């Protein structure tokens, strides 16, 4: 049995290597200048094929380690850093760094595994090599799928065990090291089981079970589950309750066992049908690429622009009006969610106070602190004085020195990328054929108008983030220097400006979209990755707000200046329809 | 005024689409750029319009053939009408025209917006509807109207009559004819009859080169066969 799997695996890797080699030669032949120099003979050069095969094996080995280790390693790293911070500031009763590390690690992994990549198993995806082997060379579909899945699971398990060494060395409990790989396997089998179930339903009912809808429901349930954890985590600052996580883990393990049973029960016919079905889906997808633009075509015809707006101002105002839902929904939803969380936290605090000290005292506390807010002071109360324990200091430290962290929620709320897509497909794509649209002065004029518009769209999230940070500051003693509350808002605003300028400039400098709204172009991707990487590092840099704000102000001003210059210089050539 | 194309070359990888385009277009004439599907007509227009880069060569205006001064093309010199009209779909026809007139501060409109619509025969009930709901023909008319208002020196019309109904095609032909004065119009098509009917000169784009057809032959009965044979030969050469 094992030797059979080994043979199949060898054939797949060999075939992948051939496909990869031929694709490489093909794309090289299509490259300008280099392509002319490459003879057709290269397709059949055995020596180079062997070199590529060795290279392919090395890539497989790298994938085995780097991908898995990196994914889980980030979770462990984050858990380690957070648990270290907690040890510095607060150690709840009965807690140790190891326990907090374990809780955080398991919590982050559950979110990562179930909301993200792990549950999506490409079990029935019909890749090129599967198509050749099953439908042309008549290989047993189940054996092929099983071989590939065992191979993937083995890679996953080994990668995770290796990543776990880092966790153990940095103080994680032993159960986390071996428990996470086992849990990952369970999640994978759950994904497999769901897919088998989907295809089994299909053959019975001649109708496919909407696996994506199921996945969305699972995610929604998990997000809802995560909310109380987060609130407890933020409000108490001690630890994430373990019993609930143990229950979820147990459920996942049980679901994983169910998936494994389904996996064993599935027969070759089902596998063949599922693969065949996925070939058809791929073909349909390839011929209906235009559907990508569908979501951008929901233009509301109602209303027009009132007032004396003219030219590009008029164009922009109409664009926003007709795309209101598309452009504003995300920042509005974000703002509402943040507002709801803040109200919940404040409500929880006030309710707690009310039950302990009665309504009279409660009203007195609320009134006094409302005045404190208006007069830019901090929380103050005789019955429930400001906490002195180090958890408070931790939150104060975050609110004063880690304001760059607001870049994360602000990026989540930011809708600039989608806005540039809508700008291209519904506006610029057509206007680019007119000469006036390619004149420098007009390009930069519209760029400025659009930048202001993006800033306006982000104002809700900026206020929400600034308010959250300021509430943290208020609850932990108020501002340390006059104007600190305003500085926090300023920092949030400047971070939002940076995000908007980046997306808009990248759009003007690389124009990556095709008429199917697909982002293409290596330069755009590489630049985005570099910017993301730099931002991911900067976000962790501690800097007190009175230094951060002026520095950020200068950097933002210089950044806008440079980007405008670049757009002015290059956009007439770079901002055009992709051939 | 003349529009000179000098040894223009455009390659896509190893494939030479425009091999050596060398030609002089004169003011006040409509040139029918005739070529088979895939012969490079759109590529030629995209190069001139600055939408894609070309490998070598140049193009410019000059006053006459004795003039030494080369006037390189500015974006406002070109009007480009693509075969599949793309218009900003979130605007109504009236809003689009208003916007267009406002951004062209240098233009003093000689008509009101409704008069422009009347001139292009845009139906009244279409004028305040979103452009996304316009028919292909009316979108084409809008595109043409804007190019007429901008009044560029060089008009590039890339198969503008393709898939228009007979009436709209005829209306468009009349508009193109009425606008030829003072500008150079290059009209690409793969339909021989359209080219013969509308154009003052016919230029064949085949084998990556432009070749004029003697205009005296336009009325010749054997002319059609001659062009077809020329295109066929070119295909065999390739």
Residue A228 has pLDDT above 70, yes or no: no
In a domain, A42, yes or no: no
In a domain, A54, yes or no: no
- A556-561 mean pLDDT: 96
Pair of tokens at residue B234 = 């070119």
A85 and A169 inside one domain: yes
- A209-229 mean pLDDT: 56
Report pLDDT for A32: 59
Provide the CA A568 distance to its chain's centre, in angstroms. 32
As to burial, measured by CB atoms within 10 angstroms (0-12 exposed, 13-18 middle, 19+ buried), residue B210 is buried
A233 and A344 inside one domain: no
In a domain, A20, yes or no: no
A336 and A387 inside one domain: yes
Backbone angles phi, psi at B171, to 5 degrees: -60, -45
In a domain, A311, yes or no: yes
Nearest partner of A414 among A339, A471, A485, A465, judged by Cα = A465
Considering A248, A282, A316, which residue would you say is the last residue of a domain?
A282
- Is A435 close to B80, i.e. CB distance below 8 A? yes
Q: Does B4 touch chain A (CB under 8 A)?
A: no
Residue A23 has pLDDT above 70, yes or no: yes
Considering A235, A253, A282, which residue would you say is the last residue of a domain?
A282
In a domain, A288, yes or no: no
Smallest Cβ–Cβ distance between A430 and the set B87, B102, B103 belongs to B87
pLDDT > 90: what percent of chain A? 21
A194 and A71 inside one domain: yes
**How many residues can be counted in chain A?**
579
pLDDT > 70: what percent of chain A? 82
Q: Which of residues 437-456 of A touch B (CB under 8 A)?
A: 438-439, 442
- What span, in angstroms and rounded, lies between the C-alpha atoms of B54 and B57? 8
Choose the mutation target among A310, A431, A435, A579 for the interface with B, i.e. most B CBs under 10 Å. Answer: A435
- Is B90 close to A577, i.e. CB distance below 8 A? no
A489 and A342 inside one domain: yes
In a domain, A442, yes or no: yes
A337 and A474 inside one domain: yes
Residue A130 has pLDDT above 90, yes or no: no
Question: Per-residue confidence at A57, pLDDT binned at 50, 70, 90?
Answer: confident
Task: Dump pLDDT digits (tens) for A325-352.
Answer: 888 989 999 999 899 888 888 888 888 8
DSSP state letter for A302: -
Report pLDDT for A240: 56
A426 and A462 inside one domain: yes
A332 and A413 inside one domain: yes
C-alpha dist (Å) from residue A263 to A29, A246, A256, B74, B194: 43, 25, 10, 66, 65
| Helices A459-475, A484-510: crossing angle, 10 deg rounding | 150
A83 and A119 inside one domain: yes
- A385-401 mean pLDDT: 79
- What span, in angstroms and rounded, lies between the C-alpha atoms of B8 and B49? 13
B104: which chain A residues are within 8 Å (Cβ-Cβ)? 436
Backbone angles phi, psi at A516, to 5 degrees: -95, 10
Q: Look up tokens 């803040």; give the residue.
A: A342
Considering A282, A314, A337, which residue would you say is the last residue of a domain?
A282
Residue A289 has pLDDT above 50, yes or no: no
- Is A318 close to B90, i.e. CB distance below 8 A? yes
- Is B103 close to A31, i.e. CB distance below 8 A? no
Residues A80 and A224 sit within 8 Å (Cβ to Cβ): no
Question: Per-residue confidence at A279, pLDDT binned at 50, 70, 90?
Answer: low
Pairing state between β B2-12 and B56-62: antiparallel
Residues B187 and B177 sit within 8 Å (Cβ to Cβ): no
Question: Per-residue confidence at A220, pLDDT binned at 50, 70, 90?
Answer: low
- What span, in angstroms and rounded, lies between the C-alpha atoms of A52 and B54? 35
Q: What is the pTM of this model?
A: 0.67
b (16+ CB within 10 A) / e for A194-229: bbbbbbbebeeeeeebebeeebeeeeeebeeebeeb
Q: Does A577 touch chain B (CB under 8 A)?
A: yes
In a domain, A72, yes or no: yes
Residue of A nearest to B96 (CA): A315
Report pLDDT for A221: 60
- Is B51 close to A312, i.e. CB distance below 8 A? no
Nearest partner of A96 among A264, A238, A257, judged by Cα = A238
B74: which chain A residues are within 8 Å (Cβ-Cβ)? 435
Residue of B nearest to A440 (CA): B75
Report pLDDT for A520: 72
So what's the ipTM on this one?
0.79
Choose the mutation target among A315, A442, A516 for the interface with B, i.e. most B CBs under 10 Å. Answer: A315
Smallest Cβ–Cβ distance between B90 and the set A322, A572, A579 belongs to A322
- Is B75 close to A429, i.e. CB distance below 8 A? no
Choose the mutation target among B92, B99, B132, B139 for the interface with A, i.e. most A CBs under 10 Å. Answer: B99
Residue of A nearest to B129 (CA): A301
Report pLDDT for A238: 47
Smallest Cβ–Cβ distance between A312 and the set B78, B81, B103 belongs to B103
- What span, in angstroms and rounded, lies between the C-alpha atoms of A176 and A72? 12
Residues B143 and B162 sit within 8 Å (Cβ to Cβ): no
Q: Residue A153 contacts by C-beta under 8 Å, 6 or more apart in sequence?
A: A185, A188
Smallest Cβ–Cβ distance between B103 and the set A31, A304, A442 belongs to A442
pLDDT: which is higher, A236 or B46: B46
A327 and A443 inside one domain: yes
- A509-525 mean pLDDT: 79
Task: Dump pLDDT digits (tens) for A536-554.
Answer: 888 888 899 999 999 999 9
Residues A478 and A378 sit within 8 Å (Cβ to Cβ): yes
Which stretches of chain B score pLDDT less than 70? 163, 215-222, 226, 230-238
Quote the domain boundaries for residue A439. 302-574
Report pLDDT for A550: 95
Report pLDDT for A116: 59
A223 and A316 inside one domain: no
In a domain, A4, yes or no: no
- A313-318 mean pLDDT: 92
Least confident window among A444-448, A452-456, A540-544: A540-544
Q: How many A/B residue pairs have CB atoms within 8 Å?
A: 88
Least confident window among A101-115, A259-273, A447-461, B223-237: B223-237
Residues A305 and A319 sit within 8 Å (Cβ to Cβ): no
Residue A255 has pLDDT above 50, yes or no: yes
Residue A56 has pLDDT above 80, yes or no: no
Pairing state between β B184-189 and B15-26: unpaired
- What span, in angstroms and rounded, lies between the C-alpha atoms of A527 and A537? 16
- Is A435 close to B11, i.e. CB distance below 8 A? no
B99: which chain A residues are within 8 Å (Cβ-Cβ)? 311, 314-315, 318
Residue A200 has pLDDT above 80, yes or no: no
How many domains is chain A built from?
2
Report pLDDT for B184: 92
Pairing state between β B154-158 and B184-189: parallel
Residues A273 and A266 sit within 8 Å (Cβ to Cβ): no
Residue A380 has pLDDT above 70, yes or no: yes
pLDDT: which is higher, A30 or A454: A454
> Domains (ranges, CATH) in chain B?
2-237 (3.40.50.300)
- A446-461 mean pLDDT: 94
A83 and A117 inside one domain: yes
Q: Does B87 touch chain A (CB under 8 A)?
A: yes
Task: Dump pLDDT digits (tens) for A131-190.
Answer: 777 777 777 788 888 888 888 888 888 888 888 888 888 888 888 888 889 988 888 888
Provide the CA B128 distance to its chain's centre, in angstroms. 28
- Is A314 close to B102, i.e. CB distance below 8 A? yes
């Amino acid at each position: 049995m094992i030797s059979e799997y080994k043979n199949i695996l060898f054939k797949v890797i060999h075939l992948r290597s051939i496909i990869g080699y031929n694709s490489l030669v093909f794309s090289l032949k299509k490259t300008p200048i280099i392509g002319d120099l490459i003879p057709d003979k290269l397709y059949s050069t055995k020596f180079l094929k062997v070199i590529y095969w060795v290279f392919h094996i090395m890539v497989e080995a790298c994938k085995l380690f780097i991908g898995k280790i990196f994914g889980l390693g980030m979770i462990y790293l984050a858990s380690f850093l957070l648990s270290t911070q907690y040890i510095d500031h607060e150690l709840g009763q009965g807690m140790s760094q190891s326990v907090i590390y374990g809780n955080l690690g398991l919590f982050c992994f559950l979110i990562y595994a179930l909301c993200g990549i792990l549950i999506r198993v490409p079990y029935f995806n019909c890749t090129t090599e599967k198509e050749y082997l099953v439908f042309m060379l008549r290989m047993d579909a189940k054996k092929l799928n099983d071989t590939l899945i065992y191979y993937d699971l083995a890679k996953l398990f080994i990668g995770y065990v290796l990543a776990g060494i880092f966790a153990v060395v940095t103080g994680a409990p032993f159960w986390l090291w071996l428990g996470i790989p086992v849990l990952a396997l369970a999640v994978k089998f759950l994904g497999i089981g769901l897919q088998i179930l989907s295809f089994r339903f299909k053959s019975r009912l001649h109708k496919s079970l909407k696996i994506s809808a199921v996945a969305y429901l699972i995610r929604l349930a998990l997000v809802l589950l995560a909310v109380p954890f987060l609130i407890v985590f933020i409000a108490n600052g001690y630890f994430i309750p373990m019993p609930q996580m143990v229950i979820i883990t147990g459920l996942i393990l049980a679901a994983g066992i169910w998936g494994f049973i389904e996996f064993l029960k599935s027969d070759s016919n089902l596998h063949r049908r599922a693969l065949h079905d996925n070939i058809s889906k791929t073909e349909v997808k390839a011929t209906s690429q235009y559907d990508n633009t569908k979501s951008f075509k929901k233009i509301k015809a109602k209303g027009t622009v009132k007032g004396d707006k003219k030219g590009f101002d008029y164009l922009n105002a109409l664009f926003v009006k007709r795309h209101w839902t598309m452009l504003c929904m995300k920042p509005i939803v974000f703002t509402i969610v943040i507002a709801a969380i803040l109200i919940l936290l404040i409500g929880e605090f006030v309710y707690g106070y009310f039950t302990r000290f009665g309504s009279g005292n409660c009203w007195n506390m609320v009134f006094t602190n409302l005045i404190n807010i208006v007069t830019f002071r901090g929380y103050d109360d005789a019955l429930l004085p400001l906490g002195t324990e180090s958890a408070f200091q931790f939150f104060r430290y975050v609110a004063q020195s880690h304001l760059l962290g607001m870049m994360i929620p602000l990026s989540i709320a930011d809708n600039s990328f989608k806005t540039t897509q809508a700008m291209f497909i519904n506006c610029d794509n057509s206007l680019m054929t007119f000469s006036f649209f390619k004149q420098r002065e007009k390009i930069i004029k519209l760029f400025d108008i659009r930048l202001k518009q993006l800033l306006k769209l982000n104002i809700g999230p900026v206020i929400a983030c600034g308010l959250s940070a300021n509430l943290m500051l208020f609850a932990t003693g108020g501002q340390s220097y006059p104007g600190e509350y305003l500085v926090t808002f300023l920092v949030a605003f400047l971070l939002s400006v940076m995000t908007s300028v980046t997306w808009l400039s990248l759009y003007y400098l690389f124009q990556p979209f095709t008429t199917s709204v697909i982002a293409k172009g290596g330069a755009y991707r590489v630049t985005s990755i570099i910017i993301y990487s730099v931002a991911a590092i900067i976000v962790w840099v501690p800097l007190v707000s009175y230094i951060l704000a002026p520095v950020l102000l200068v950097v933002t001003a210089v950044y806008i200046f440079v980007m405008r210059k670049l757009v002015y210089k290059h956009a007439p050539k770079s901002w055009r329809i992709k051939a | 005024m003349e529009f000179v194309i000098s040894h223009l070359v455009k390659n896509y990888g190893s494939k030479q689409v425009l091999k050596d385009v060398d030609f002089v277009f004169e003011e006040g004439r409509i040139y029918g750029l005739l070529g088979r599907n895939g012969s490079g007509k759109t590529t030629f227009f995209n190069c001139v319009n600055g939408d894609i880069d070309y490998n070598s060569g140049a193009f410019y205006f000059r006053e006459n053939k004795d003039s030494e001064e080369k006037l390189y093309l500015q974006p406002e010199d070109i009007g480009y009408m693509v075969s599949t009209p793309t218009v900003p779909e979130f605007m109504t026809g009236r809003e689009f025209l208003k916007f267009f007139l406002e951004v062209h501060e240098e233009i003093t409109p000689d008509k009101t917006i409704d008069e422009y619509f009347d001139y292009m025969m845009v139906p009244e009930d279409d004028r305040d509807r979103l452009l996304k709901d316009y028919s292909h023909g009316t979108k084409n008319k809008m595109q043409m109207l804007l190019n007429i208002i901008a009044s560029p020196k060089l008009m590039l019309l890339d198969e503008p009559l393709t898939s228009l109904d007979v009436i709209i095609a005829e209306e468009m032909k009349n508009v193109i004819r009425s606008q030829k004065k003072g500008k150079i119009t290059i009209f690409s098509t793969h339909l021989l009859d359209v080219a013969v009917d509308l154009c003052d000169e016919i230029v064949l784009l085949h084998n990556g080169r432009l070749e004029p057809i003697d205009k005296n032959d336009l009325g010749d009965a054997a002319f059609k066969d001659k062009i077809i044979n020329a295109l066929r030969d070119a295909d065999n050469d390739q």
